[in-house]
Amino acid sequence: MASKITILGAGITGLAIASQLPKEADITIYGKFLPGDEMDKEYVSQWAGAIWLGVHATSAREQKYQMDSYSTLWQIAGLHPESSARRIEITEIQDIGVPEQVWYRDHVVGFRYLSKSELPKGAKFGMKWQTVVISPPTFINWFRGHLENQGVKFKRLHVKALRDLEGLGHDVLINASGFGSTLLEDVRESAIIPVRQQNIRLRKEGYNKLFIRRGENNYYSTAFGRDDGSIYIGGVKKENVREWTASAEDRKLIMKQAHDNQPDVFPSADPNDYDLIGDHVGVWPIIKQDKGGIRLEKEVIGGQKVVHAYGQEAGGYVCSFGIAREAARLVFEYLSDPARAKL
C-alpha cells in the first residue's frame, strides 16, 4: 500500500517537500492558506521578493540546502517560464566582508569578481553571476497546479494542534507551518523570531537587472525587475518586529538608496516621482544560527511520526528544495524503520 503522508502548511516549504517525496506516496497538503488565495500578511510565501541569494554567514548544512535549491530553481526557470522563475544576472556589491567569504563562488553559473574600476565608491569588493528571480504569488500557484497534476491533494483546514490531524491515519506528518509552529499547542516553538522587511514596488518597464548592495549598520539596498513589469526595491529589515504598517521614513530611505546606487535607472530620490504600486511590507519567521538555525528533524508527538521543517533564516525560497530533500530523507527513515507499525 502507498505510504500516506500529510503536510501541514502550503507555503513554499510544504510545496517543495511534496515535490521531493516518492511519486507513489499518497500526499495531502493542509493549510489555513492555500496557493491562489488573496494576499494575506500571515501567508508569508506570498510576500517574498523573491530571489535566490547565497547567504554569506550560514552553516555548511544550510549552504547545502541553498545550493540544492539553486540548481532546482535554475532548472525550473529553464523548463517552466510560466512559473515566473527567470534566470537573471546579479550584481552584488559589498561594503563589508572579504571576497573569501563568498562560499558559493565556485558553485553558481558565470561567477566573476568585479575589477576595481567596476566598483562604486566605498565598495570593498563585488561580483556578478547568474541567479533566479521569482514572482511568489504566481510561482506558488503554478507549483500547486504542477503538484496536483502529480496527484498531490490540497485541503483547507485550520488546526490548533498537530494532534487534531491524528485521525487522518498518515504514516508521517510533516510540520511546515512556519509561524504556525509558535501557536500549535503541541509544538509551541519559542526559538522563532520575526523579521520585518519594508520594500517598494513601482511600475517601470524594461529593467531586467538584479542589483544588491550590503554595508555597515544593516545597510541593504536591492532592485530587481519582476515578470509583471514591476520593480521591487528593498529594503529596510528589522528583527523582532511583527508589524505591517509602512513607514514613510523608511520608504524615503529605500528610494534614496536606490537612487544613490543606480541614478541612471532611478533619477530621483523622491518616491512620489515614480509610478508607485505601493509599499510592500512582510514579516517572516526565522530561527537564528545561535539558536540552532532551521528546525529540520524528526519527533514523535502523541503517537504521530512528525518531521518538522521551519525557521529557515536564509529564506524559504533560497533553501526550499534543499530542505525538501532532507525532509524527504527523514520521511524515508521513518518509512524504512522495521518497526513501521504506528507507535
Ligand X SMILES: Cc1cc2nc3c(=O)[nH]c(=O)nc-3n(C[C@H](O)[C@H](O)[C@H](O)COP(=O)(O)OP(=O)(O)OC[C@H]3O[C@@H](n4cnc5c(N)ncnc54)[C@H](O)[C@@H]3O)c2cc1C
- Contact residues for ligand X (CB under 6 A)? 8-14, 31-33, 43-45, 47-51, 157-159, 176-180, 184, 197, 199, 282-284, 310, 312, 315-318
Cell 518531521 sits on residue: 307
Residues 282, 48 contacting (CB under 8 angstroms) = yes
For ligand X, the closer CB: 13 or 91: 13
Closer residue to ligand X, CB minimum distance, 232 or 274: 232
Closest to ligand X by CB, 171 vs 313, is 313
Alpha-carbon span 251 to 179, nearest angstrom: 26
Alpha carbon distance 155, 31 (integer Å): 7
Shortest Cβ 106–ligand X spacing (Å) = 21
CB of 231 to ligand X, least distance (A): 14
Q: Is the N-terminal amide bond of 315 cis, ω within 30° of 0?
A: no
Q: Enumerate the β-bridge partners of residue 304.
A: 301
From the list 64, 84, 63, the residue with the least C-alpha distance to 73 is: 84
Q: How far is the CB of 19 from ligand X (least distance, A)?
A: 13
The grid coordinates of residue 301 equal: 508527538
What lies within 8 Å, CB to CB, of 102 at 6+ separation is: 54, 56, 127
User: Which amino acid, residue 336?
Assistant: S
Burial 220-245 (b: 16+ CB within 10 A, else e): bbbbbbbbeebbbbbbbebeeeeeee
Which residues, 6+ apart, have CB-to-CB distance to 292 below 8 Å? 191
Q: In whole angstroms, how close is the CB of 295 to ligand X at the nearest point?
A: 11
Lookup result for grid cell 561567477: 111
Q: Residue 14 and residue 323: Cα distance in Å, rounded?
A: 10
Q: Pick the closer one to ligand X by CB: 228 or 337.
A: 228
Give me the least distance between CB of 42 and ligand X, in Å please. Answer: 7
Cα of first residue to Cα of last residue in the chain, in angstroms, is 18
| Shortest distance in whole angstroms from residue 117 CB to ligand X | 30
The nearest distance, CB 232 to ligand X, in angstroms, is: 9
Cell numbers given for 278: 505601493
The three-state secondary structure class of 194 is strand
Residue numbering of the annotated binding site for FAD: 159
What residues form the annotated binding site?
A: 159
Which C-beta is closer to ligand X: that of 208 or that of 268? 208
Considering the complex, state which of residue 196 and residue 305 has its C-beta at the smaller distance from ligand X. Answer: 196
Residues 6 or more apart in contact with residue 141 via CB below 8 angstroms: 35, 36
Nearer to ligand X, 25 or 212 (CB): 212
Calpha distance 324→306 (Å, rounded): 14
